[in-house]
Structures are given as structure tokens and as C-alpha cells.
Structure 1
Amino acid sequence: MAWTVDSAFSEFHQNINLPGDHRTTANTRKDWVLRQLGTSFTVLDAFTMGSIPRFTALKGYADLDIMAVLHYEKHIKGRLPSTVLSNVKRALGPGAGNVRRNGQAVTIKFQSWPNIDVVPAVRYVNDAGQVTHYEIPDMNREVWLETKPRNHASKVSQKSADHGPKFRQVIKFIKDWNRRQSVRLQSYHIEVIALQTSTDWKEYDWSVLQWFSQAKSSIYSCWNDGNDVSQYLTPDRAYKIQQAVNGAHSAALNAWYATAGPAKDQAAAIRGWKSVFGQNFPTYG
């Protein structure tokens, strides 16, 4: 329970945040992947990525993403994404589950947290030998997608350094909202929208409202590092999440105005924000 909007958001963050530094666990999982793949593949590099190392993960819902960079000539050239993913799944052994819904990774479930998503990739370098970008499979469309995960992680880290902890906290608020929707945005998409949101990230309520404002124009098209990160959404799915974003923006605007307007009604504002974020958001009192 909370008496003010600010304390309500602080409590909300405590309810959903994945605390701690999990780099040791992440490296242990990465080493396991390297051992499994090493019997069948020439792995040029492997590194962790995703919400856990970027400190934007939710408690109880975070898996670890591991990118495995494979030798192009031996394992990628002339092969469909579905073939590469099938080969990776076979090499990972009987513990390997299905390909993730987005068609980009093989999921491994462990008895202890966290599960992992293994993303095979090919890297591209310039004349100086520097990596310019990677490509990862999209089995659903049988295409290879350009990605720059280290660039994105650096941007998130720099934005947090420039604006303080509320930047990452608001991302987690949105991810918790997102997981309750019938159609969900990818975590990467949510973070790109946050990076493109123009606000100082000093106030929880205003920052959340501004994220939804930015999201309204970032569902059907959202460009980052030269790529449209919304391409994974079919028109039907994009329409559904657009409607959800529009509704959340309207509710967030009303909740924000409850304290920004002349009434200064903390109780009404907290009720309004709870209508946006659901059971993990505290009640007034």
C-alpha cells in the first residue's frame, strides 16, 4: 500500500524487479552452451545478451539469451534459418526444447533458474577487422535479420548513466504491463522505444506517460540502427497491440492528471495507475 504516486511506483518496482548481479550464472550457462555446440560447430564467439545483463529483467519472467557466432562458410552459407536452428537444436542435445515463438532461438530449460535461449548468428566485419553487425535467423519468415546487440546494450547503459535508475525502472514497468497483453512487444522493441522517448526520466508517472506517447507511433514502424524493429509484428498483431497501447496511454494520461491537475488527488492517481499496471501495482492507503 502507498500514500503517494512516487512511493507507489517505488513499491511496484520492488514487486517486479529481478535483484542482484547474475553475471556468474550467465557465464556458467554460456560455457555449457559452448561445450555442447563445440562438438558439432566452429563457434567463433559467444556472449550473453538480453534483459538480464542489461538489468531490465523482471523477477520470475527472465530467461538468458546467449548469442553463438558460428563459422559462416561451414554452418550458415546456403542454409535456411530453419535449417540452422534445427542443427543447433540437435547439437544442444536432449535438453533442447522448441524454437522460440519469434523463430530466432532454441530454448533450453534447466532444473534451476535461468532457462536460456540460444541464438545462432553470423558476424560481419569491415576492412579493419572490426565487427560491424551480426545476422540472426528468423525461421518464421526464413530470412536473416541484422542486429547490433552490443550497440544496443551500450545505449541502454549510457542512457541510464545519463538519466539515473528510473530509466531502467520504467522499462521494467512497461515490460510488466506488456506481459499481460494478448499480443506482446518484444523486449528489444520496448527498450528501443524507451531510448527514443524524449523526457528527463526524473518523475515516474510523467516518464511512463511519455513512453506510451512514443509507443503510439512506434508499433507499425520503429527504426533503430538502420532496421525496423517492428518487422516481427504481423498487421493483425500490430493492430491488437496498437489498441492496447492506445488504451493504456489514455488511462495513463488520466492517472497523471489526477496529481498534475488542480485536484492533486493521490488516491485517484494511484487507482488510475493500478488500472494500467494491474495486481503488482500497490493500492492506496
Structure 2
Amino acid sequence: MLTVAQAFEKFMQGLELHEGEDREAKRQERNVFEAMRRRLGPRESILSGSYGRKTAIRPLHDIDLFLIFTANTSGTGKTVGPEEFLNRVKEALEEEFRGKQARLQNRSVNIEFNGTGIGFDVVPALEDPRRPGTYWIPDVRKDDWIQSNPRKHIDACDAANAKASQRLKPLIKAIKRWRQLQGKPVPSFLLEVMAYKGIDSFHPDPRLSIYAQGMAHLFQFMSERIMEQWPEPAGLGPPVNSGVGQTNLVQGQQRLSGAARRAARALELERVGDILGANEIWRELLGPDFPVR
């Protein structure tokens, strides 16, 4: 029988991207960037989002591709409407990748590729000439431009992971799998940002699985704090939970509370030596990929 720690190690390994998936994602990223450079001339690209922060889980679907433009505009993009800018990107993608229909989203344009199942959310950005490293990205719902810096998001994630002895990113991936099984009630980035803070108050018992304790701790922390405003890690854009409906937040809180109770029970069982019972609860929470035996 697997110990709880061994079961978590095997489960975490199963969430990692395969070498082929990673290689194919980077190859397609280069193709998309070169295609966009031919049409619209972005200066550079950043692999952002969960893929860029290395918190993506398999199977890999959409990758955020941040395209940086040096535009002959005010720098805040005020001379170009956000929807107009996104439509330019959409048209350019469809011209370069014939037969594919790109989809306009709130802050990006999505395009999917056959065969690999990998798609890209292309986020066009204008660098602020007065603040190098600060970018303006379109927000259709606001009909305005908002500030962002994905490199700071990556730095914030890396810093939190380092404080947690490199164990936070695996925990974030496990929570993302749990979220998928729950029907994705709230954005994964909101859970990830809460995890950066939640890990600060984590003090594990060396007698129990550290990943099991980390999951239980984060479920409890998130259930208690999800209704708060969570600042965007770069300190530039709107809060991470901006635009998340109250109904979704309440649903997320309820499901996190339920997960916290089940996780606490799993820790109790592990503590008294009922390893099979503990692993069965973790399988219930994290899905059939979590090994029991």
C-alpha cells in the first residue's frame, strides 16, 4: 500500500507536462509569434499565464501569449479602442492561419490548433513609454485599457514557491485539478494568488505528509479569505477577483469549505494510521488519478 506521501508524489508527477507537450507548445508559440510579426510587428513575446509561471497542468489546453507592441499611440492606447485592437489581432491570426477561426475574448484572442489540442490566448499589449516594463492591455468589458506586467506575476509565483521550499507550485497544480472536478466555480488565477499568501501561515507536522497538510491548509485558508479583494500580483491592474460574480464566489467558498472539511478528516485518518482511508478521501477530492494502492 502506498503511504499518503507516496500517493501524493505519484499524483503530482501525473500533473506535470510531458516533454513532448512542452516542446510542441514552444514550437507553436514561435509559429504564432512569427506569424503576428509578419502582420502586425510585435516587438517581443512573453509566455505568460499558468504556462509561463509553470503552474499549468496536463492535459495542456490554452497558453497565454503576451505580445508587446511599440505603437504610435499615446502609450495608454487611448487613440485605439480595446475592441478595435483585438479585432486587428483576430484578423491577422485568421489571415496567417487559413481555415481557422479565431475567437474574440475580453482581453485576448483565442486560436486553437488541430492535432495537439493546444490553443493560444493572444494578449496584445502596448508598452508604456513613460514606464518601461509596464504594459497596457485591452479590456472589452470595461471598454478601456488596463495595466499589467506578466513578468512580475512570474516573479511573485517564483518567490512564493521559494519560500515554500519549491512545494507551492505542485500544491497549486493539485488545487487546479480539484477546481476542474468542481466545475471551475472561480478562476484558477484567483486560487493561485491566494495560495501565494496562504502558504505564509503553513507550519507542517513532520509526522504527516507535507503535501496533504499543505492541501488541507490552503483549502481552509481559501475558504476563509475568498470573499476578500485580492490585488493583482504586479500591483497594476484591477483585483484578481474583479469581474467574478457574487454567485460564483459563494459557490467557490462553499466548495472550498467542503474540501477543507474532507481534507481535515483525511489528516485525522493518516494521524491514526488509517492510510487507506486517508488516500480514499484524497482520491475523492482529487479524482481517479490519485492512487490509493
TM range, smaller chain = 0.7 to 0.9
Partner of residue 123, structure 2: 119
Choose the corresponding residue for 1:98, options 97, 103, 106.
103
Asked if the contact 1:96/1:106 (under 8 Å) is kept, the reply is: no
C-alpha displacement of 1:182: 2.8
Distance 2:260 2:234 in 1: 26
SS of equivalent residue, structure 1 residue 135: strand
Moved more, 221-230 or 20-29: 20-29
Alignment partners' CA distance in 2, 1:196 and 1:251: 22
Counterpart CA distance in 2 for 1:145 and 1:280 is 39
Aligned match for 2:273, one of 222, 240, 264: 264
- So what's the TM-score if we normalise by structure 1? 0.85
Instruction: Report whether the alignment pairs 1:222 with 2:230.
Output: yes
What corresponds to 1:53 in structure 2? Answer: 52
Residue 195 of structure 1: how far off its partner (Å)? 1.0
Q: 1:203 offset after TM fit, Å?
A: 0.6
Asked if the contact 1:12–1:281 (Cα under 8 Å) also holds between the matched residues in 2, the reply is yes
Say if 1:5 and 1:266, in contact at 8 Å, map to a contact too.
yes
Q: Determine whether 1:142 maps to 2:151.
A: no
Assess if the C-alpha contact under 8 Å between 1:8 and 1:281 holds in 2.
Answer: yes
What do residues 129-163 of structure 1 show as CA deviations (whole Å, max 9, x unaligned)? 632x2232232343433322101212222333443
Q: Is the 8 A contact 2:126 2:135 kept in 1?
A: yes
Q: 2:102 aligns to what SS in structure 1?
A: strand
Q: Shift of residue 274 of structure 1?
A: 1.8
1:236 corresponding residue in structure 2: 247
**Structure-to-structure mapping, 1:1-285, within 5 angstroms:** 2-20=1-19, 25-74=24-73, 76-93=77-94, 94=98, 95-100=100-105, 103-113=106-116, 114-126=118-130, 130-131=132-133, 133-197=134-198, 198=200, 199=202, 203-216=210-223, 217-223=225-231, 224-226=233-235, 227-260=238-271, 263-283=272-292, 285=293
Residue by residue, what CA displacement relative to the aligned partner does 1:27-60 show, whole Å, maximum 9, x if unpaired? 4333323333234424233221122232222111
C-alpha deviation, 1:180, in angstroms: 2.0
CA distance in 2: counterparts of 1:180 and 1:15, whole angstroms = 16
* Structure 1 unmatched ranges of 5 or more: none
Identity among equivalent pairs (%) = 24
AA aligned opposite 2:67: A
Q: Which runs of 5+ in 2 are unaligned?
A: none
What secondary structure, in the 3-state scheme, does the structure 2 residue paired with 1:59 have? Answer: coil
Normalised by the length of structure 2, the TM-score is 0.82
TM-superposed CA distance for 1:119, in Å, is: 0.8
Counterpart contact for 1:70–1:120, Cα < 8 Å: yes
